[in-house]
Structure 1
Amino acid sequence: MPTRRVHHLAAATAAATTALTTVLTAVGAAPAHAAGELHVVQPGGSIQQALDAARPGDTVQLLPGEYRGSVRITTPGLTLRGAGPDSVILPADSATALDTSAAPATAPATKAATSAADAAAACSAAGHGLCVVGTDDRPLDGVTVEALAVSGFRKNGINATGTTGLTVRATYVHDNGQQGISQEKSTRGVITANESARNGQSGVFLANTVDSEGGALSTDGTLVTGNLLTDNRIGVTVRRLRDLSIERNRIHGNCGGVFIVGDEGVPRAGALTVHRNQVVANNRYCPPNPRLDHIQGAGIVLTGAEETAVTENEVRDNVGASPFSGGIVLVHSVVGVPNARNTVADNLVLGNGPADLADRDTGTDNAFTRNQCAVSEPAGRC
């Protein structure tokens, strides 16, 4: 039977070990892979050193405390686990240099691995907190990040690109300058049971890529479920993607709740499910930018999307005077592309303003059925 070796980068006290066991039991974190090694890091130790030493199937375990500086993962099948929100990754302070040069214990054997390591170093240097990085040719497979906090970075808290099967679970990602949890060019992700709050852009942001145009990519079933998303610009943003689900999230106190964003690219954004979310009082004011008008009081917004099902959501008390304001809103994209063949059905949509259901688009083949609402735009949709 394989055995699991444990590496302690700093001595763990009995009290810390007891607290760790208690927190992991509370969040339901899975045990390390039976054949993998456990690398334990205590405050004052180096997360990056442990990650660089880890192999596929290993777990890097953070004890409660603060850890300074960005870190990056480029090893498949790795788990990075904290002891809950008391294990917090923060920006490097003046006495802690940002580590972008640490090399893996074993040099990358392939051009793809070298490319991933270079991309990860660039991600850290850019000001993100935790970077999970693969390549287009070789997506990083099977990484899990759970039960830790990431806070105060000038860009994204958790930034993933080129991944497949990434799980982000039970994290607290807050007060970062751009996205809380961001995933680009990735498939089969699971983002669940996280709290993402007070980030400058989205609590959860999913996209094909942020730095170029292009048709929507399939995520092959990415799932965003059971998260608490509050006091961000947008709770969840999906941009130019297909085949994913946003389910059973609590989304409140943002400028906007859920934005499904498409454009003229082919294939179009869509083939999505927005199901059984609670989207309430997203009434913060966010000023306009060169691409969008201001956002306030926006519940669930579809813009330039197709074949998306918005079903059984509770959407209440989202009120504002933006083009996006209202409960469930359809509006054409910034380049004028209408929504097409979307279904809005069986939702509870009340107390939103200026309307509970608002179809401000030119598309004519979107269906509104069996929704409980008071005011629609145009009339007759309730």
Structure 2
Amino acid sequence: MKRCHFAYAATAVAALVGTGIGLGATPAAAVHQTLVVHQGESIQKAVNSAQPGDTVLVLPGVYKESVTISTPRITLRGTGAVTVIEPAAKAAGKAPNTGSKAPKATKATKSCAEGGNGICVIGTKTKNVKGVTVADLKVTGFARAGVFGMATDSMTVRDVQAVKNAVWGIAQERSVHGRIVGNYAEGNGDAGVFLANTITEEAGALDTERTVIDRNRLENNRIGVTVRRLRNLVVAENYIAGNCAGVFVVGDENKPKAGDLEVAFNDVTENNKSCPKTDRLPAIQGSGIVLTGTEKTVVDGNRVTGNSGNSPLSGGIVLFKSFVGATNDQNRISGNALAGNAPADLVDTETKGIGNTFDHNACRASKPSGLC
């Protein structure tokens, strides 16, 4: 990586000289650089050399390493699926499929690689790292997550292929203003996209300040998208197919309650893969969109078809009381087109939830009857 570092420094000095700025003067604006990484070189070394506003461009090749970003406004960008990041060494044996149970959190003192992750964007307990972008590359084979963000602000994950990671394809915790857009997540052990407040303790739902999960293709995972104990975000215009379940919005008894978010204009079709039960969930199969323990969530304008199974959570759009007893309240299910879901297009198993409404949905069968 020496050539990258020297190119960076030389370009910066040339820019200063060219603008007539002396070494003792303060430049009017920072000079943003592109550090180029060739196959056989270290991505991490380039990231360590980068300054806020810089881009690390990773050329085609297979890079066997994990990468941690903690500098704000860094862009890590590949050249598409031909830029591949995978583990430095395969662990002995196969990483377990943890199902819907989240794995034990990685301690802050552990590295990204020690935690089993591919690319990590990490802030601190007191300060979020801002404006990091990960784009245009493939991350595969990691024991935990392909791309993982914790304590981030305005983190963007764009045009990434997250394939066959043991737990999550793309995940964020304790993060706000996120943008997860245009990615492909396939064959991950738990969720293709997983967002949560925290997995290390019981806590009320976090306001994500309008995080967006948009235009992703999520196939053959356990769950397409899991949104856990969060508020104020949008899951929109995603194609979600071939998973055991399409979308899970999950809350519990903590305050503030999960919800106050939107699931809209997604194509959720034939999520009929069968996944065994865990200590958190029963076996799941044929679940389109599931709300459990949430409030004030709008499920609107989705196309939900062909989701069929015999799980308690099966059906097109399902309201299910959480396993810790939290009810669904004041959710609105409207304007969705549903067909061929079993046991029904709309399923409401709530007996104590209040204020949930179903209106203007195009469907044939509901459980109980009368919701279509």
TM-score class, shorter-chain normalisation, is 0.7 to 0.9
Q: Using the alignment, how far apart are the partners of 1:277 and 1:345 within structure 2?
A: 13
Match of 1:228 in 2: 217
**Equivalent of 1:327 in 316, 328, 332:** 316
Q: Which one of 342, 354, 370 corresponds to residue 364 of structure 1? A: 354
Alpha-carbon shift at residue 122 of structure 1 (Å): 2.9
Inter-partner Cα distance in structure 1 for 2:192 and 2:254? 25
Residue 203 (structure 1) aligns with:
192
Structure 1 residue 365, shift from structure 2 partner: 1.3
3-state SS in 1 of match to 2:113: helix
What is the deviation of 1:132? 0.5
Aligned residues of 1:10 and 1:42 also touching (Cα < 8 A): no
Letter of the aligned partner of 1:350 in structure 2? A
Separation in structure 2 between the aligned mates of residue 84 and residue 120 of structure 1, nearest angstrom: 31
Classify the secondary structure of the residue corresponding to 1:211. coil
| Pairing 1:163-312 to 2, within 5 Å after superposition | 163-312=152-301
State the one-letter code of the partner of 2:249.
I
Name the structure 2 match of 1:78: 74
Q: State whether structure 2 residue 111 is matched by structure 1 residue 122.
A: yes
State how far apart, in whole Å, the 1-side matches of 2:181 and 2:328 are.
28
Is 2:207–2:231's contact at 8 Å kept on the other side of the alignment? yes
Q: Which residue of 1 aligns with 2:97?
A: none
CA shift digits 1:59-94 (9 cap, x unpaired)? 000001100011110100100000001101011037
What root-mean-square deviation, in Å, do the aligned CA atoms of Structure 1 and Structure 2 show?
A: 1.7
Q: Is the 8 A contact 1:196 1:228 kept in 2?
A: yes
Per-residue deviation at 1:336?
1.0
2:145 maps to what in 1? Answer: 156
Structure 1: state its 5+ residue gaps: 1-5, 12-32, 95-117
Q: Is the 8 A contact 2:67 2:112 kept in 1?
A: no
Q: Distance in 2 between matches of 1:238 and 1:78?
A: 26
Structure 1 pair 280/34, CA: closer, same or farther in 2 (3 Å)? farther
Counterparts in 2 of 1:161 and 1:353: CA distance versus 1, 3 Å: same
Q: Which amino acid aligns with 2:45?
A: Q
Q: Distance in 1 between matches of 2:206 and 2:265?
A: 24
Deviation digits for residues 160-193 of structure 1, max 9, x if unmatched?
0000000000000000000100000000000000
Instruction: Tell whether the 8 Å contact from 1:304 to 1:331 is kept in structure 2 after alignment.
Output: yes
- Measure how far apart 1:364 and its partner are: 3.3
Tell whether the 8 Å contact from 2:4 to 2:46 is kept in structure 1 after alignment: no
Distance in structure 2 (CA, Å) of the matches to 1:279 and 1:311: 12
DSSP 3-state at the match of 1:51: helix
Output the TM-score relative to the length of structure 1.
0.85
Verify: 1:378 aligned to 2:365, yes or no. no
Give the letter aligned to residue 260 of structure 1: V
User: Which of 295, 302, 320 does residue 313 from structure 1 map onto?
Assistant: 302
* CA-CA distance at 1:247 after TM superposition: 0.3
The answer on whether the counterparts of 1:9 and 1:42 sit within 8 Å (CA) in structure 2 is: no
Check whether the contact 2:186–2:221 (CA below 8 A) recurs between aligned residues: yes
Quick one: distance in 2 between partners of 1:285 and 1:55?
46
Alpha-carbon distance between aligned partners in 2 of 1:211 and 1:44, rounded to the nearest angstrom: 36
Residues paired across the two proteins, number = 333
Amino acid at match of 1:375: A
Counterpart amino acid of residue 278 in structure 2: N
Q: CA separation in 1, counterparts of 2:201 and 2:31?
A: 41
What amino acid maps onto 2:228 in structure 1? R
Counterpart secondary structure, 1:148: strand
Residue type matched to 1:267 in 2? P
Sort the Cα spacing of 1:221 and 1:120 in 2 relative to 1 into closer, same or farther, 3 A: farther
Q: Which runs of 5+ in 2 are unaligned?
A: 8-28, 91-106
Letter in structure 1 aligned against 2:182: A
In structure 1, distance between residues paired with 2:368 and 2:71: 52
The amino acid that maps onto 1:166 is M
Task: Specify the alignment match of 2:340 in structure 1.
Answer: 351
